[in-house]
Structure 1
Amino acid sequence: MRSIVYSTNGDPSVLHLVERELPEPGPGEVRVKLAFSGVNPTDWKTRRGGGPSGGMPFPEVVPNLDGAGVIDAVGPATGDAATTTTFTVGDRVWVYLAAHESPLGTAQEFTVQPVSRVVPLPDAASFELGASLGVPAMTAHRALTVAQDGPTRLSPGALDGRTVLVQGGAGAVGNAAIQLARWAGATVISTISSDEKARLATAAGAHHVVNYREGDTAAAIREVAPDGVDLVVEVAIAQNLPLDQAVLAPRGTVVSYANNGGDSITLDIRPHMGLNTRLQFMLLYTVGDAALHAAAEDITAAIEDGALHVGEDHGLALTVFPLAETAAAHTAVEDDTVGKVLIDVTA
């Protein structure tokens, strides 16, 4: 089996293509023959030693949290309800958090994962879409379901009457947030920094786009949402909190899922008290299994409804590398390549 591994933290040069024994699934586990592996910022940050566990959590690590493929082996049945699975060989699936608390990520031909990290992939969905879900789509789902006035789950109509502001709609999380919010009935506004990114956010389904490098951004948002926005999906709260405050509706929620642009914020307390603002910070790895499973179910429902897509026509261009060029794929993500970076494991 071809695998990409690293045994020390560092730049992309620590990634090596090796041959490893085919892993066998245990009780409550399945083996997935991977078609595509998705690369996220967390993957390169973990490789450099800045991941959730810090340093090298295992002597050797296969990187990448997300992927999609076909189940080719199921672990032995034990009669224990906790390890029982309904998956069978040949099932199409997507995988999330594969390399979290495990040395077996998705940058390899096969991966063994607990059934709790494996989700059925609808027949109409491509493996490219499946490998692009995981971190981005689940982060977006969580961001859209923690507002003070709800909802806690997404479905058609769940966000009817709400206005959602997606800061940075051309990124992978922003793209998923736009598509999921639109599916759930929200009016979606997205900030962008160029005409090209405006095109991408619009292709994803944003009703309105605002270039934050041109004119008065708060006034432009208020023009289309005079009563304010109910929920902000925030990628750079250190830079954007004053803007969020200026456009937020009473009882509005700002959800920060990244620290782009700075690691600290200055907060004006009185205005936020007056708005009854909820500031929600989130990290996918600690949201808990209930939130992860809810996200997996709702995302799958959105796929079945034809509401989630990837590709240039849907605002998320794909950049694909073969497995042997995983280091280049990691470099592309570190260099902020617009869109989604995937690894074709079968190439």
Structure 2
Amino acid sequence: MKAAWYDRNGMADDVLVLGEMPDPEPVPGEVRVRVEVAGVNPADVKRRAGAGGRAIRTPRVIPGDDGAGVIDRVGAGVSAERVGQRVWVHSANHDRPFGTAAEFVVVPDGQAVQMPPDTPFEVGACLGVPALTAHRCVFADGPVDGMTVLVTGGAGAVSHYAIELARWGGATVIATAGAPDKQDAARRSGADHVVDHRRPDAIEAILDFTQGRRVDRVVDVAFGANLPLTEATIATGGTIVTYASDAVPEPVLPFYSFMRRCVTIRTVLVFAMPAPATRSAIDDVTSLLLRGALTHPIAARYRLPDIAAAHTAVEQRTGIGKTLVTVTDEAAQV
């Protein structure tokens, strides 16, 4: 099969290679997917770069957690009826050497989710890490109907789905975003109010919108950097749910301020989600896909030979939405 891989950590242009590898075969409990479109997430580029000391543990790594395609083979114990199903794939490269940046990927049966008939492969490749993370962040602490939810970094892939899911769940959603195009993206996602987090009066702007009532839940992309804002705007009994803290990886907590209000801080890593939470997220995403109730912004599309450029674009945060890599010429377009 045609595949992209790296055998050492480093810059995308330096280490990513395109070539031929043997076709993988599914073992018991697995399925093989002929990949049409792969997604590129920050986690993919961080693994490749060796961020946080994450050196590769196998001789060769095919990157890519997310993707979409068609199941063409199944291992023992998997229903033969799965062959031919159009699926989206998640977490393919987590604790496994070979991900979705290839013509074929093998994953455990449960990580290949059947798509509604009319869902394009590009949409399926947008889901995975962003959609599952967003669902966990929004609903891990219960329903949000009638609540006010603050989503930081409102133009990101996770934030986009978090806004849509929170609105679907009945919440009023406030988003933060910097540049005007990112603010516009957050509004298109459905945010009821968007605040430029760079404004010196950003806290006041949020509380003005809520008429002085603090928010019930925060979905946060930059925990350490955003602490001044989230501390000031989280309600008593509220929850700050965070899935990243890149700018300030070891934040200092305002402990007593949080303690006096019984604030819960929850961290989310999609790869460590409890199985019931993953199933719930998949069920809800499938239902919303059937209803056409989700949108799927795409930052850019690349071909597999240009995967290094795709990784670089994600590292440089180019564009708004998911960065995709088309693996085959037959891949459907949104």
Residue 117 (str. 1) matches residue 98 (str. 2): no
**Residues in 2 aligned to 1:267 and 1:288: alpha-carbon distance in whole angstroms:** 26
User: 1:209 aligns to what?
Assistant: 194
Q: Which residue type is aligned with residue 89 of structure 2?
A: V
**Residues in 1 aligned to 2:269 and 2:22: alpha-carbon distance in whole angstroms:** 33
Matches within 5 A, 1:159-238: 159-225=144-210, 226-238=212-224
User: 2:87 aligns to what?
Assistant: 93
User: 1:11 aligns to what?
Assistant: 11
User: 1:46 aligns to what?
Assistant: 47
**Residues in 1 aligned to 2:299 and 2:205: alpha-carbon distance in whole angstroms:** 31
CA contact (8 A) 1:180 1:307 kept: no
CA contact (8 A) 1:39 1:329 kept: yes
For residue 239 of structure 2, the aligned residue among 242, 253, 258 is: 253
Residue 308 (str. 1) matches residue 332 (str. 2): no
User: 1:31 aligns to what?
Assistant: 32
User: 1:298 aligns to what?
Assistant: 284
3-state SS in 2 of match to 1:197: helix
| Number of equivalenced pairs | 326
3-state SS in 1 of match to 2:51: coil
C-alpha displacement of 1:87 = 4.7
C-alpha displacement of 1:8 = 1.3
C-alpha displacement of 1:86 = 6.8
Moved more, 256-265 or 64-73: 256-265
**Residues in 2 aligned to 1:2 and 1:162: alpha-carbon distance in whole angstroms:** 48
C-alpha displacement of 1:306 = 1.8
**Residues in 2 aligned to 1:196 and 1:211: alpha-carbon distance in whole angstroms:** 11
CA contact (8 A) 1:180 1:302 kept: no
C-alpha displacement of 1:221 = 0.7
User: 1:80 aligns to what?
Assistant: none
C-alpha displacement of 1:307 = 1.8
Matches within 5 A, 1:56-71: 56-71=56-71
Q: Which residue type is aligned with residue 69 of structure 1?
A: G
* Identity level (%): 45
Residue 240 (str. 1) matches residue 226 (str. 2): yes
Moved more, 35-44 or 281-290: 281-290
C-alpha displacement of 1:215 = 4.4
**Residues in 1 aligned to 2:21 and 2:246: alpha-carbon distance in whole angstroms:** 37
4+ runs deviating over 3 angstroms: 83-87
Residue 336 (str. 1) matches residue 321 (str. 2): no
Normalising by structure 2, we get a TM-score of 0.93
CA contact (8 A) 2:74 2:80 kept: no
Unaligned 5+ segments in structure 2 are 330-334
**Residues in 2 aligned to 1:85 and 1:229: alpha-carbon distance in whole angstroms:** 46
CA contact (8 A) 2:29 2:109 kept: yes
CA contact (8 A) 2:30 2:78 kept: no
**Residues in 1 aligned to 2:95 and 2:213: alpha-carbon distance in whole angstroms:** 44
For residue 103 of structure 1, the aligned residue among 97, 101, 121 is: 97
* Change beyond 3 A, Cα 1:74–1:146: same
3-state SS in 2 of match to 1:71: strand
Moved more, 177-186 or 284-293: 284-293
Q: Which residue type is aligned with residue 24 of structure 2?
A: P
C-alpha displacement of 1:137 = 0.8
